[in-house]
């Protein structure tokens, strides 16, 4: 049985990644953990805001597609 893969999320194009609930600063030469509480809290808030924006955009796209289908009489 293989070990579970660690949960990892990159934050947009920023040089940070969240791995197993911990933020890491990433560069070509390696990674180091982000340990400043104020900085990691800001990353948490920004990450949540980006996720909320992604969900809102996805919902708008679904609504737009539904409206287009209704306007086209259901023909696509």
How far apart CA 19 and CA 58 sit, in angstroms, is 25
**Has residue 76 been placed in a domain?**
no
**Has residue 1 been placed in a domain?**
no
**Has residue 12 been placed in a domain?**
yes
**Has residue 2 been placed in a domain?**
no
Q: What is the pTM of this model?
A: 0.70
Q: How many folded domains does the chain comprise?
A: 1
**Has residue 19 been placed in a domain?**
yes
How far apart CA 22 and CA 33 sit, in angstroms, is 7
**Has residue 34 been placed in a domain?**
yes
**Has residue 50 been placed in a domain?**
yes
Q: What residues make up the domain containing 59?
A: 8-71
Per-residue confidence in pLDDT tens, the chain, 76 aa: 454 455 677 777 889 999 998 999 999 999 999 999 999 999 999 999 999 999 999 999 999 998 888 877 755 4
**Has residue 15 been placed in a domain?**
yes
Which residues are bridge partners to 8 per DSSP?
A: 19
């Amino acid at each position: 049985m293989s070990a579970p893969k660690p949960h990892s999320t990159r934050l947009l194009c920023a040089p940070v990644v969240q791995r197993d609930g911990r933020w890491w600063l990433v560069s070509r030469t390696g990674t180091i953990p982000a340990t400043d509480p104020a900085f990691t809290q800001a990353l948490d808030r920004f990450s949540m805001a980006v996720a909320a924006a992604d969900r809102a955009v996805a919902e708008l796209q679904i609504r737009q597609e539904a409206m287009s289908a209704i306007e086209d009489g259901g023909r696509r």
